[in-house]
Chains A and B, each alone.
Chain A
Amino acid sequence: MVAENRLSFHVPEPEVRPGDEPDFSDVVIPRAGSVPRPSVDVDPKDIRDLAYSIIRVLNRQGEAVGPWAGALTDEQLLEGLKHMMALRAFDARMLMAQRQGKTSFYMQHMGEEAVSCAFRKALNPGDMNFPTYRQAGLLIAGGYPMVDMMNQIYSNELDPLKGRQLPVLYSSREYGFFSVSGNLATQYPQAVGWAMASAIKGDTKVAAAWIGDGSTAESDFHAALVFASTYKAPVVLNIVNNQWAISTFQGIARGGSGTFAARGLGFGIPALRVDGNDYLAIHAVSKWAIERARRNLGPTLIEHVTYRVGAHSTSDDPSAYRPKTESDAWPLGDPVLRLKNHLIVREVWSEERHKQAEAEVLDTVISAQKEAEKHGTLHAGGKPSTRDMFEEVFAEMPPHLKRQRQQAGV
């Protein structure tokens, strides 16, 4: 008789914890320019290895190399750099505003600026994003007024959402930015539904879905993939793998077992992994996936490999669960710095011009902030009316809400 082994329970643990030396030695980083660029009508079966590699354009010297390079002009790249710088400056100011008590909450994008800023520039007007709370670059790069974002964060009298929604959960139909929900992953299959609608109507618009690495564990991630695949919906399914879901490392969502991108393959959805800190690579890969969708070739899944440099939110302290210097060790570097260096290599940018641009961007953000603060912050100045609280629950206010509004004395 064979002796019975007792079972043991497995809980994944990150390689390192606070106080340890950061270690990304297990993250395989392919050489820039080494991944081929297939045509958009490629048979998904022939590009399965793209789900296990990382598409990169910018090399260590700051040069754009390989088949995914060359799509963007100097002007477009300079604009991209400014969008990322604006988002970073915006984040810094709003983080400070939260610390000053001007709002209750904020979430920054530090390290992930390239993902949403580059993706936005690959879309056409009329396309619709279904973002999470960490894609404000879609708004910044889309030209949405910064002051309106701040009005929302401050829940002031000009808040487009009338003070009903937590800071950073923006909404703008006009700018192709679907109302952000606090409930994770719900928007992922909604994006697929929007794309299905566009196909049903014979439209030319496409949708983009957004999710983080942690939220891929939600049931709706699966729902989205099966619907997108079944109906060949014109949607780009983005996963932003920033390695962390609040305090849980990506292994708790079972990252590291293959890749997040590879999950698309089981549904017959072509999947690409991209260097999430490489503006040029993200733009090129996004363009490819968006073109596939627009040519009715179906969905594409993109895993953006990046790192969440900042705290999860203003209510979080990452030093409690990961090494303080981990972001410095992240092998894909900083997206702003990398694009800046590339532009210097292209000889269209310089350290001085960068410094000057930083000052200009900061001025723009500060003047937007002054403008927004004229209309109130969370606890001071103008605010939405109590009556607004009762509006828009339904298209027309039903009798029971009218009674309650009356009871509230408004």
Chain B
Amino acid sequence: MPRMTMIEAIRDAMDVAMGRDDNVVVFGEDAGYFGGVFRCTQGLQQKYGSSRCFDTPINESGIIAAAIGMASYGLRPCVEIQFADYMYPAYDQIVSEAARIRYRSNGEFTCPIVIRMPTGGGIFGGQTHSQSPEALFTHVSGLKTVVPSNPYDAKGLLIAAIDDPDPVIFLEPKRLYNGPFNGHHDRPVTPWSKHELGEVPQGTFKVPLGSAAVRREGSDVTILAYGTMVYVAEAAADEAAVEADVIDLRTLLPLDLDTIVTSVRKTGRCVIVHEATLTSGFGAELAALVQEHCFYHLEAPAIRVAGWDTPYPHAQEWDYFPGPARVSHAIREVMEA
């Protein structure tokens, strides 16, 4: 199997989707000729022509609205918002329109679009190149929200998202574009070519939306994570010297509750990890579900490790980012409870 970075895997997914379905179109700011500021759409315009892959004006609302209009015509747009931090001008189109068109028209009009957005921190991106706004999407009825953590999943999930009949928010942790990252910023980063999940099948293959992956198995504690935090969780478990079930959620909505519940009932302990700010973050939903479904199996409170409730700072990057030290501390806390 070929080795790919996450960028190459995402590009390959769009290439495959465009190759087998003329209705798939790709566009966004700098997504056409230049191939995207992260190179995710490189070569697609040359291969499929500028009516299938093109640059747009700098107007996020316009990008999403155009995609919605195209989807109601019958196309399957897969569009890019350059940074998740810049989706706010499009939020009205996403929440009031994309998410609800099927419901309000009783299925007469549907919105099979994918909105790709680079997300997450750990890159000295400061306040507007680091945010993790997933909770602003999972709170919206009618949206599906996906966060891949490796090239294999990124391709399989993106093809599944493009084929999906509903609007999908596809958040790509940009910190993982070139290699996995466990929060140890002082150590060299290994590229995806050295990682087993950098092996990506050619052609069409899908990772179904709504299924989590158990990254490692252990009986001491369950760690719920997604995106970059999957690798932080693994490192933290090693450093805390515990046998952890590390669950990569992959899709936040629909959520694979069965995998979570089975694991927490087995371990009796749960740590929830995300980069996004704590208060009303997706971790709150996870904690609530864990206590509703696993209360009598819990031997300690389910606790959350998350970004602080501040805007994402620049100089204080590693004080903000929930790295392995904070996560392993939390693991020891639930183990001792």
Those of A386-410 within 8 Å (CB) of chain B: 392-395, 398-400
| A161 at interface by CB-CB < 8 Å | yes
Chain B residues within 8 Å of A193, by CB: 65-70, 72-73
Determine whether the beta carbon of A171 is less than 8 Å from that of B102.
Answer: no
| A178 at interface by CB-CB < 8 Å | yes
Determine whether the beta carbon of A190 is less than 8 Å from that of B97.
Answer: yes
| A194 at interface by CB-CB < 8 Å | yes
CB distance from B14 to the nearest CB of A (A): 16
Determine whether the beta carbon of A190 is less than 8 Å from that of B68.
Answer: yes
Determine whether the beta carbon of B106 is less than 8 Å from that of A171.
Answer: yes
CB distance from B74 to the nearest CB of A (A): 7
Q: Mark A161-173, 1 if CB is under 8 A from B, else 0.
A: 1101100010111
Given A173-B108, A223-B62, A223-B65, A400 contacting B254 (CB threshold 8 A): yes
CB distance from A398 to the nearest CB of B (A): 4
| B59 at interface by CB-CB < 8 Å | yes
Selected contact of B25 from candidates A169, A182, A200, CB within 8 Å? A200
Determine whether the beta carbon of B72 is less than 8 Å from that of A189.
Answer: no
Q: How far is the CA of A178 from the CA of B104 in the complex (A)?
A: 11
Given A179-B108, A186-B96, A194 contacting B165 (CB threshold 8 A): no
Given A186-B97, A227-B66, A393-B141, A400 contacting B61 (CB threshold 8 A): no
Determine whether the beta carbon of B65 is less than 8 Å from that of A171.
Answer: no
Q: Mark B92-111, 1 if CB is under 8 A from A, else 0.
A: 11001100111111111110
Given A179-B101, A186-B93, A395-B166, A197 contacting B106 (CB threshold 8 A): no
Chain B residues within 8 Å of A399, by CB: 210, 254, 257
Q: How far is the CA of A164 from the CA of B102 in the complex (A)?
A: 11
Determine whether the beta carbon of B65 is less than 8 Å from that of A220.
Answer: yes
Determine whether the beta carbon of A200 is less than 8 Å from that of B97.
Answer: no
| B151 at interface by CB-CB < 8 Å | no
| B89 at interface by CB-CB < 8 Å | yes
Those of A333-358 within 8 Å (CB) of chain B: none
| B316 at interface by CB-CB < 8 Å | no
Selected contact of B108 from candidates A171, A186, A226, CB within 8 Å? A171
Determine whether the beta carbon of A220 is less than 8 Å from that of B108.
Answer: no
Determine whether the beta carbon of B62 is less than 8 Å from that of A226.
Answer: yes
Chain A residues within 8 Å of B68, by CB: 190, 193
Given A193-B70, A198-B73, A227-B57, A186 contacting B106 (CB threshold 8 A): no
Given A192-B65, A227-B59, A230-B57, A172 contacting B166 (CB threshold 8 A): no
CB distance from A409 to the nearest CB of B (A): 19
Q: How far is the CA of A52 from the CA of B335 in the complex (A)?
A: 75
| A160 at interface by CB-CB < 8 Å | yes
Q: How far is the CA of A226 from the CA of B74 in the complex (A)?
A: 23
Report the nearest B residue to A186, measured CB to CB.
Answer: B97
Determine whether the beta carbon of A160 is less than 8 Å from that of B97.
Answer: no
Determine whether the beta carbon of B104 is less than 8 Å from that of A181.
Answer: yes
| B51 at interface by CB-CB < 8 Å | yes
Q: How far is the CA of A192 from the CA of B56 in the complex (A)?
A: 13
Determine whether the beta carbon of A164 is less than 8 Å from that of B97.
Answer: no
| B142 at interface by CB-CB < 8 Å | yes
A-B pair count, CB < 8 Å, reads 146
Chain B residues within 8 Å of A207, by CB: 69
Determine whether the beta carbon of B66 is less than 8 Å from that of A189.
Answer: yes
Those of B39-54 within 8 Å (CB) of chain A: 51-52
| A183 at interface by CB-CB < 8 Å | yes
Q: How far is the CA of A394 from the CA of B105 in the complex (A)?
A: 12
Chain A residues within 8 Å of B253, by CB: 398, 400
CB distance from B73 to the nearest CB of A (A): 4
| B300 at interface by CB-CB < 8 Å | no
Determine whether the beta carbon of B108 is less than 8 Å from that of A192.
Answer: no
| A293 at interface by CB-CB < 8 Å | no
| A128 at interface by CB-CB < 8 Å | yes
Determine whether the beta carbon of A395 is less than 8 Å from that of B103.
Answer: no
| A149 at interface by CB-CB < 8 Å | no
Q: How far is the CA of A396 from the CA of B52 in the complex (A)?
A: 29
| A224 at interface by CB-CB < 8 Å | yes
CB distance from B56 to the nearest CB of A (A): 8
CB distance from A99 to the nearest CB of B (A): 26
Determine whether the beta carbon of A398 is less than 8 Å from that of B210.
Answer: yes
Determine whether the beta carbon of A394 is less than 8 Å from that of B142.
Answer: yes
| A140 at interface by CB-CB < 8 Å | no
Determine whether the beta carbon of A395 is less than 8 Å from that of B102.
Answer: yes
Q: How far is the CA of A379 from the CA of B43 in the complex (A)?
A: 58
Report the nearest A residue to B23, measured CB to CB.
Answer: A201
Determine whether the beta carbon of A171 is less than 8 Å from that of B104.
Answer: yes
CB distance from B295 to the nearest CB of A (A): 17
| B87 at interface by CB-CB < 8 Å | no
Chain B residues within 8 Å of A224, by CB: 62, 65
User: B65, B67, B74, B110 — which one has the most chain A CB atoms within 10 A of its CB?
Assistant: B65
| B255 at interface by CB-CB < 8 Å | yes
Determine whether the beta carbon of B102 is less than 8 Å from that of A394.
Answer: yes
Chain B residues within 8 Å of A223, by CB: 59, 61-62, 65
Q: Mark A132-162, 1 if CB is under 8 A from B, else 0.
A: 0000000000000000000000000000111
| B75 at interface by CB-CB < 8 Å | yes
Report the nearest A residue to B167, measured CB to CB.
Answer: A394
Q: How far is the CA of A201 from the CA of B101 in the complex (A)?
A: 23
Determine whether the beta carbon of B57 is less than 8 Å from that of A161.
Answer: no
| A219 at interface by CB-CB < 8 Å | yes
Given A161-B104, A172-B108, A130 contacting B69 (CB threshold 8 A): yes
Determine whether the beta carbon of B254 is less than 8 Å from that of A171.
Answer: no
Q: How far is the CA of A173 from the CA of B108 in the complex (A)?
A: 6
Q: How far is the CA of A400 from the CA of B101 in the complex (A)?
A: 20
Chain A residues within 8 Å of B61, by CB: 189, 219-220, 223
| A191 at interface by CB-CB < 8 Å | yes
Q: How far is the CA of A227 from the CA of B93 in the complex (A)?
A: 15
| A195 at interface by CB-CB < 8 Å | yes
Q: How far is the CA of A345 from the CA of B145 in the complex (A)?
A: 63
Given A171-B106, A183-B97, A220-B61, A200 contacting B72 (CB threshold 8 A): no
Q: How far is the CA of A193 from the CA of B72 in the complex (A)?
A: 9
Determine whether the beta carbon of A226 is less than 8 Å from that of B57.
Answer: yes
| A196 at interface by CB-CB < 8 Å | yes
| 7 A-B residue pairs with CB within 8 Å | A162-B106, A192-B66, A194-B69, A200-B51, A201-B73, A394-B144, A395-B102
Top-4 shortest CB links A-B: A193-B69, A193-B66, A189-B65, A223-B62
Extra inter-chain contacts (17) besides given A161-B104, A190-B69, A392-B103, CB under 8 Å: A164-B104, A164-B106, A165-B104, A171-B104, A171-B106, A171-B108, A171-B109, A181-B97, A183-B92, A183-B97, A193-B67, A193-B72, A197-B69, A197-B75, A223-B62, A227-B62, A399-B254
